[in-house]
Structure formats: structure tokens, C-alpha cells
A and B are shown apart, each in its own frame.
Chain A
Amino acid sequence: EPEVTQTPSHQVTQMGQEVILRCVPISNHLYFYWYRQILGQKVEFLVSFYNNEISEKSEIFDDQFSVERPDGSNFTLKIRSTKLEDSAMYFCASSEGTGFGYTFGSGTRLTVV
């Protein structure tokens, strides 16, 4: 069964450093998302991406965050200057369309120290 692949599985970074989280969505999917989940809490929407541009973003997704689809297969989330409160599990997801379920990746656990 097709999978969404995320790397790395764990990332520890110092406060103020830049991190890039990588995702390879399912190849025939058209919609891509980043969500995050702080330990034990709900899954929070960050951003949706369609047709090579951001289609929607949440209040969490401020100027420190950016997304790219640089080569038609990878989908990256960059946090320019990490804060302690950015520590969370970051999930990438993709879907065939707006009326379909998401396929989530296994996540990247980001720890900011």
C-alpha cells in the first residue's frame, strides 16, 4: 500500500536554529498538508498546499514557517528560528482530493532545546 514517507523520524535542535522536515507524499496525490501534535494533544492544522502554492494556513503558521515542493516529489516544512514551543510531532499528509481521506506519514518528532 502506498505510504507517505517522512524524514527524519527524530530531530533535536537548539532554540533559534533552522530545521527542515521532509516528506514524500503519495505520487498521485494532489493535496499536501502539514499538521502537528503536541504530546497527548489534538492534531493541529498548519498548512495545506495545492497546485504548487499554499491554499490555506493556520495562525500557527507564521513568518517563521515555510513550505516548498522543490522537485515534484518532496514536500518540505522549514522552521527558520525554532522556539521551545515548536517541540511537537510534525505529520505530513496527502490526499487525492478534497473529498478523500488523508494518508499520514509516521511523523517527525521535533525537540527544541
Chain B
Amino acid sequence: GQQVMQIPQYQHVQEGEDFTTYCNSSTTLSNIQWYKQRPGGHPVFLIQLVKSGEVKKQKRLTFQFGEAKKNSSLHITATQTTDVGTYFCAGRGAGGTSYGKLTFGQGTILTVHP
């Protein structure tokens, strides 16, 4: 079955440093989504990428979808303490009869030291 791998598992940064998490799928994706989960909270939808090579920005967050639609990245510029949490990528397989099932990566736990 489809597998989505995410690295690194943990990332500790000083406030103001940049942060990047990478996501790789074992199969081609129709789209990929990113979620943020604060400690003790639930996943919150951040963005969806659909097109090959797509880049989207949300303030300090930059999301990329690879040309082969098998990998993605999230980059945060100048981290703040409010960025703390676990960032998950979640991929939807291309083709087939998937009714929207998302396969989540393991997540990257981001800690920001003030």
C-alpha cells in the first residue's frame, strides 16, 4: 500500500532560524496536504498542493510539490514560538477509486527555543 515518509522526526531550532520538513511518497500522488497539530490538539489543515512543481506561500510558510508528484516540502522562514507543533504531510493516491483517503506521514515535531 501507499506509504508516506517524513523527515526529520524531530527538529529543534532557535527562534528566528529557518525550518524545513520533507515528505516522500512511495507512489505518485494526486495531491498532497499539510496539517499542523499543536501539542494536545487536533490536526488543522494548512494547504493543498495539486500541480506538479507547485509552490505556494502562506506568510512565512512555503510549500512545494515535486515535479514527479511524489515528494513535498514545507519551509518556515524565521521561526517563532507560535510555530511549535507537529507538521504532517498527507498524500492522496493518484488514480484508483480512493474516496479522498489521505495517508499521513509520521510528522515532524518542531520545537522552537526563545
Contacts and interface: CB of A to CB of B under 8 A. Distances in A.
A and B interact: yes
B102 A102 contact: yes
Contacts of A91: 42-43
B92 A98 contact: yes
B88 A43 contact: yes
A98 B88 contact: no
A45 B101 contact: yes
The 7 lowest CB-CB distance pairs between A and B, nearest first, are A101-B45, A98-B100, A55-B99, A43-B104, A104-B42, A42-B106, A104-B43
Interface in B66-100: 88, 90, 92, 97-100
Interface size classification for chain A = 20 to 34
Contacts of A104: 42-45
Given A48-B100, A101-B48, 8 more contacts: A35-B104, A43-B88, A48-B99, A55-B99, A97-B100, A99-B50, A99-B100, A104-B42
A55 B34 CA distance: 23
A94 B23 CA distance: 24
Nearest to A89: B42
A41 B44 contact: no
A107 interface: yes
A105 interface: yes
A101 B42 contact: no
Interface in A38-97: 41-45, 48, 50, 55-56, 91, 95, 97
Interface in B10-61: 31, 33, 35, 41-45, 47-48, 50
Nearest to B48: A101
Contact of B43 (A31, A41, A43, A45): A43
Contacts of A50: 99-100
A33 B100 CA distance: 9
A43 B33 CA distance: 13
A11 interface: no
Contact of B99 (A31, A100, A101, A105): A31
Indicate the member of A43, A44, A91, A98 with the most B CB atoms within 10 Å.
A43
